Every structure is written in structure tokens, then in C-alpha cells.
Structure 1
Amino acid sequence: MSDLTLSSETNWQARVAHAFSRAAPRYDALATAQRQIGQRLWDALPPVARHVLDIGCGTGYWTQRLAKRYPCAQITGLDLAPGMLEQARKRYGDSIEWQHGDAAAQPFDECFFDLVFSNLAVQWCSEIGAVMDELYRILTPSGQAHMTTLLPGTLREIAFAWQRPEALLQTPDRASVARAIGESGLTITRQTTTVERFYYPDLKAVMASIKGVGAQIARPQASLSRNDIAAAQARFEQLRQPEGLPVSYHCLTLQLEKSL
């Protein structure tokens, strides 16, 4: 990896960590979509686990639920954003290990976790191959990873309204994810793709749902005039449904296993 690539990667990680740290105090109040999507993982988890890792744990909502589901297990929450981990520690204490770190370069020993949980986190990693390699490294033989991530098409209504698609998260497509999994040595035991739509009363509520959970990284020199906002509102109104203004999440749900 060149110095230029490394610098770009470090800068991206810093921006993601900063955005989510700023969002941490209000994250739980606005994370309705994230909670609903994560429930798909919850229903398919194995009955028993000894060492459990929550990648992209945020404020610890799913981590503490994992701790209750597996009361005899060692539970660890990993997140890139210090602000998220601070909130998690305040809310749920130190019985859970809260670890600052990157999903693509995890600070854990090989073959340690028999269960990894990750809800809507790995799409923020620019190198999906590195994430899958790390999953293979830290999982025990026969260990499982249950994950959701986002696919292209996510938040397309917002891209249409603002006419700035470059400001949205660029996610790998399903084929790229599958290739990264195959190259890592992991096996896909179950996968599903779904489109989850959530509805909001107005543009302000839409943007609060995105910014409020840290899921928008401001581009340099991005500025919006009143005319820009009015134009975005008018475009978004073209998409209005009886339920409200739609926001789509194109989700990939994965169950992975490290073969013996």
C-alpha cells in the first residue's frame, strides 16, 4: 500500500470516527431503522456462545442484548468512534469489554471468538476484503459471523433530492462482498437481500434520521443555500407516498462460518 493510499484511508477513518462520535449522544433516539434491520440477525443467532464480538457496537444496544442472551459468555464491543464507546461504557458499565479499533485491523488474538455479530457497520470500511480476512483470523474453527451491511441503492431518494450522489456512502456490491468472503476462506451458509423502506413526515425528519446516527460524512467545501434546500424539498415531494417520504436501505444479511 502506498503512502498516499494509507493517508487517504487514515483520513477516511478519522472522518467516520468523528461523525459517529458527534452523533453518539442522540444516536439511540434516532436509530429506528438500524434497530429494525438488526432484528433479522437476532432471530438467527446460535443458542450457545463463549466469546462474542459485536463489530461496530456503537452505543452498545446490541452488545448488552448479547450479554443478556449469553450470560456465561465473554462479550466484547468494538467500535472506531471513541464517542460511541464512551456512551456505551456509561450506559452498560465495564462488565462488557469496550474496545476501540478498526474492523479491518482488529486488536484480538487469532481463533478467539466463536460468534461475531455486526449490524450495519462494515459498509463504513473502505476495504471489505480486509474485514473478511480479519473475521477469518479471529474466528474459532466452526465459529460464526452474523452480519448486515448495505448495498448500492441505499438512500437513493436522498441522492435524488439533493442531486449530490457523490455525498453518499459508496458501498461494495453483492458480487464484491461475495468475492471478498471467498478469498478470505470463510463460507457463506446463509444470505438474503432485502429493501427496507422507512417513512418520514418531511425533509427535516429525513435528514435528522441520517445525520443523527452519524451516517453522513460531510464533503469538503459543501455548502447549501436556502434555494438548494427548497429545491431538495420539492424533488423529495415527488417521491412522497401515503406513509410519508421514503428512505430505502438495500440490505445484505449474511451468516458466515469458518470451516474446520
Structure 2
Amino acid sequence: MQTKVRIARQFSQAAHCYDQLAEVQWQIGVDAVSQVTPTSGMLLDIGSGTGRISALLADKSGQVIGLDLAEGMARFASRTQPNKVGFLVGDADNLPFADNVFDYVFSCMALQWCQPISQAFSEVARVMKPGAKGLLAMMVQGSLQELHRCWQAVGQPAHVNHFLSLETLEQAAKQVGLSWQVQTRLYQTWHTSLRDALHSIKDIGAGVVLNPTRSPLSKAVIQAVERRYFENYQQQGLVPVSYQVAFMEIQK
């Protein structure tokens, strides 16, 4: 519960500037929307954030409901997005809807924060009508890999998130009766320093579930990680942050 409170607080505080900072999030969202099968029925967008992806989805469905854990995000979306999309505050692990309601379920870069993922998948399946389809885009194992390796090389625990494997996600989906097809795509952003790279991760929310009990890093450790980062990965003076994203087409 503490993790969810931190997630909601951080995203609520970032609502007014999130779209300007989260460029890679937008790219992934647009790619995800391009894979959505149009429906004349109701579409649920889980983790709708500022609502700009929900607005794109409105052109592919009869009605869109955007749901976000962060009240600040839902309020911002309600003010800035078209009236044809409705926005609610809610938890992916406990969706505030009856069974068998939606013709399509969409989520982009949100469900990776759900622990365990099986609970969120169970809720997705519950609210889908029989035969309904969906598209879930999630960061998976392989994301932030350069930073993981650099922390490990200097004998430090990773100060960035670990993400689930495709095998784990497939098993969780099958357990709740969802069939699926998956494809993955690598996205990268490029940065001038370790600090810039870590700020970019925070800006899109990818650092939100870091273990808050970890002790502060010394300047020497940060410098050692940055040296390793540039020695191994720099191209033309820039270092990458990688996001391995799975696009999962599901059907109930």
C-alpha cells in the first residue's frame, strides 16, 4: 500500500508537466494505440495519466473510460481532454467496475507497477466481456539494462527497477484465461550524464518504486558508476537509457 501511495503522489505532482518530460512515454503510447483493434463498444484505459493517449483511443471506440491511480492525473485529464472521454480514479488491482463490462481493455506503461501482476491480470480478465480483446504495453526484463550492469560492476545493488520476464507475464495471463500474442520493441533515450539519465527515468515515472530504504549514494560511488557507464556505452558523448517494451494482444 505504501508503494501505491508513493506512485499516486508522484504522478499527481507531475501531472502539469508530465507531457513535456515524458517523450518516450508518448512514443510508446502512440505505437500501442496503432495496434488497437477498433470497437464500437466501451474501451477501458488503465493508467490513463494526463489523458492524451485516451484521446487517441476515442477515435477507435464508441466510448473511452480512463482510469488512473493518481487523483491529480485524473483531474488534469478531465480539464484538458475532450468530453468524449471520462476519467476516474481507481486501482488496477481492484477495478471499480462490474464483471463483463468492457469490449476492449488498453493499458500503456502502467501495469508494470502492479505487484503481483497476477492480481492486475485477474481484474483485467474480470471486467472484459467474453470474447473481448485488449492491448497491454509494459516495460519488461531488459529495461534499464545498462544501468543495472554499471551498478553491478561497482558492487552496488541496482538503484533502478527490475521488471518481469515475458515468461512470467505469459504464465500470469494464462492463469486467468487470457490468450495472448506478444511482440517486443526497444526504445532508447540519450543523455549527457548519469544524473541526466536518472532524472529522465524519474520524469517518466520509471523510478517510482525504488526501494526507499536504500542509503544515499556517496559521490565516489556515483562517479564510479558514471565512469563505467561512459566507458561501456557512450556514443558521440551520450549514454543510453533503454526501455524494453512488450506489446501484448490479449483476448478473453
TM-score (norm 2): 0.89
Residue 157 to residue 214, structure 1, CA distance change in 2 (3 Å):
same
Match of 1:234 in 2: 227
Match of 1:36 in 2: 27
Counterpart among 240, 245, 248 of residue 239 in structure 2: 245
The residue identity in structure 1 corresponding to 2:89 is H
Residue 38 to residue 65, structure 1, CA distance change in 2 (3 Å):
same
Match of 1:131 in 2: 120
SS in 1 for 2:134: strand
1:89 and 2:78 aligned: yes
Gaps of 5+ in 1: 1-9
Q: CA deviation at 1:42?
A: 1.8
* Contact 2:69/2:90, CA 8 A, preserved across alignment: yes
Q: Percent of aligned pairs with the same residue?
A: 32
Listed one character per residue, the Cα deviations across residues 209-229 of structure 1 (whole Å, up to 9, x for unaligned) are 111122213523532343343
* Contact 1:104/1:127, CA 8 A, preserved across alignment: no
Gaps of 5+ in 2: none
* Contact 1:23/1:213, CA 8 A, preserved across alignment: no
Q: CA deviation at 1:41?
A: 1.8
* Contact 2:188/2:243, CA 8 A, preserved across alignment: yes
**In 2: Cα distance, 1:134 partner to 1:65 partner:** 24
Match of 2:177 in 1: 185
Count residues with an aligned counterpart. 246
Match of 1:144 in 2: 133
* Contact 2:36/2:134, CA 8 A, preserved across alignment: no
Listed one character per residue, the Cα deviations across residues 9-38 of structure 1 (whole Å, up to 9, x for unaligned) are x12211222222232222111211112222
**In 2: Cα distance, 1:168 partner to 1:14 partner:** 19
* Contact 1:19/1:216, CA 8 A, preserved across alignment: no
**In 2: Cα distance, 1:43 partner to 1:243 partner:** 33
**In 2: Cα distance, 1:49 partner to 1:14 partner:** 35
TM-score (norm 1): 0.86
The residue identity in structure 1 corresponding to 2:113 is W
**In 2: Cα distance, 1:222 partner to 1:36 partner:** 34
Residue 165 to residue 252, structure 1, CA distance change in 2 (3 Å):
farther
Listed one character per residue, the Cα deviations across residues 83-139 of structure 1 (whole Å, up to 9, x for unaligned) are 221221221165422111111110011111101111111100011111111111111
Counterpart among 22, 39, 46 of residue 13 in structure 2: 22
* Contact 2:140/2:245, CA 8 A, preserved across alignment: yes
| Pairing 1:65-76 to 2, within 5 Å after superposition | 65-70=56-61, 73-76=62-65
The residue identity in structure 2 corresponding to 1:181 is A
Counterpart among 161, 168, 171 of residue 169 in structure 1: 161
**In 1: Cα distance, 2:161 partner to 2:60 partner:** 32
1:209 and 2:200 aligned: yes
